[in-house]
Amino acid sequence: MSRPGQSNLFLAITILFAGLAAATLLPYSSSMISDLGYYTLCPFAPWSTLALLLGAGVSWVLRRYVQSQPK
């Protein structure tokens, strides 16, 4: 895969993980209360949110690494 293709892939993964992290905090009528004290889309929030943000951060660092390599 070419360098721009890898960079775009890592950017897409970063955006996906960040969007999913935000979605875990949305209020939702579910059967379990999250650790935040309200019904969320993901009952494992905020821990799932932090894990997804960590994945987004790793993807962003990998993207920056790919971009910094000499041609």
Q: Could you tell me the two tokens for 38?
A: 């309200």
Indicate the pLDDT class of residue 65, thresholds 50, 70 and 90.
very high
Q: What is the pLDDT of residues 7-48, one digit of tens each?
A: 999 999 999 999 999 999 889 888 888 888 888 888 888 999
14 vs 71 pLDDT, higher one: 14
Classify each residue of 26-46 as buried b or exposed e, where b means 16 or more C-beta atoms within 10 Å of its C-beta: eeeeeeeebeeeeebbbbebb
The pLDDT of residue 71: 78
